[in-house]
Structure 1
Amino acid sequence: MIKLDDVDRRLLRRLQTDNRETNLDLAAAVGISPPACLRRVRRLREAGIVRADVALLDPSVAGTHLTILVEVMLERERLDVVEGFKRAVAAEEAVTQCWLVTGDPDFVLVVRVPDMDAYERLTQRLFYANPNIAKYRTLVSISEVKFETKLPI
């Protein structure tokens, strides 16, 4: 991991807000020359600090109107069971986030599906077909209060 200075942090804040800003505008905004800006941004990408440049879509465009949070408890907490569940989750397109957590659940998932029928099919594949799932709890989102991809830096 590279050490970040104030200029790097200013660049990262700008890139998190709009990564389509031109190099000239970005350099001017953070107070460095365009060549220095280009080198720094390239360094941040090569170091993996900037993981990806993506477009954030409106979920309704994709037809995934329903957001569901799922707490998953495993029957056993062996490494092979945990790794097997991670692989199964990674293969599910509807699972947009998966977190291995401390506390009562072992995992917390964020699932985006068009409707409850699609979610029920996912539960059949991911939970009921897996003998290592002790139980799961579903929390259906009523409305999105805050969704932010920017990290405080």
Structure 2
Amino acid sequence: MRSTTARPPDQLDDQDRAILRILQRDNKTSQRAIGEAVNLSAPAVQRRIARMEAAGIIRRNIAVIDPASVGQGVTVVVEVQTVNDRSPVIAAAKRLFREAPEVQQCYLVTGKASFILILLVPDMASYEVLSRRLFADNELVQSFQTLVVLDPVKVTLEVDV
């Protein structure tokens, strides 16, 4: 029986990388079609995908939705500076931001800011209410700066493999 222990990312071979590129474009591509594209059998593709899922290389399979089509047409980038960088403050902020459904991405960063957040909201009135709850009235937050996205020039979830 073959081990399903994953290879470290630096040990992915060309076929693994080709499979990942195909799945990032369309994860509904059949294993047979993937196999034809990378010169493997469908069962070999299935084993490789299962191995990469077990290793956490493939984190999950999702549907990418156009935010505007579901009423979330405003993207906001927020730079947040916490009151300090002590572990309890950072942990509490992480928890708060992780639990807010409007927060699409949250990054703990170096530099003047503590966090960079990407938010989706229906309109600016909704953002005003949200910004009060998450930032202005939050004792963890020293300051925040809001950038409203005018045109999402490039948005991708694909990783160059």
TM-score by structure 1 length? Answer: 0.96
- The answer as to 2:57 corresponding to 1:49 is yes
- The answer as to 2:51 corresponding to 1:59 is no
Match of 1:70, SS state, is strand
Show CA shifts across 1:57-83 (max 9, x none). Answer: 111122011000000001111000000
Please state how far the C-alpha of 1:19 moved relative to its aligned partner: 0.7
Equivalent position of 2:31 in the other structure: 23
The unaligned stretches of length 5 or more in structure 1 are none
Match of 2:79, SS state, is strand
Please state how far the C-alpha of 1:91 moved relative to its aligned partner: 1.3
Please state how far the C-alpha of 1:128 moved relative to its aligned partner: 2.3
For residue 25 of structure 1, what is the amino acid of its counterpart?
Answer: A
Q: CA RMSD in A?
A: 1.0
Aligned pair count reads 153
Equivalent position of 1:143 in the other structure: 151
Match of 1:98, SS state, is strand
Percent identity (aligned)? 39
Show CA shifts across 1:15-55 (max 9, x none). Answer: 11111011110101011111111111111111111111111
Alpha-carbon separation, structure 1, partners of 2:99 and 2:27:
29
- The answer as to 2:15 corresponding to 1:7 is yes
Match of 2:75, SS state, is strand
Equivalent position of 2:91 in the other structure: 83
Alpha-carbon separation, structure 1, partners of 2:60 and 2:159:
14
Match of 1:151, SS state, is coil
Equivalent position of 1:97 in the other structure: 105
The unaligned stretches of length 5 or more in structure 2 are 1-5
Alpha-carbon separation, structure 2, partners of 1:123 and 1:17:
34
Please state how far the C-alpha of 1:148 moved relative to its aligned partner: 1.0
Aligned pair partner of 1:128 in 109, 132, 136: 136
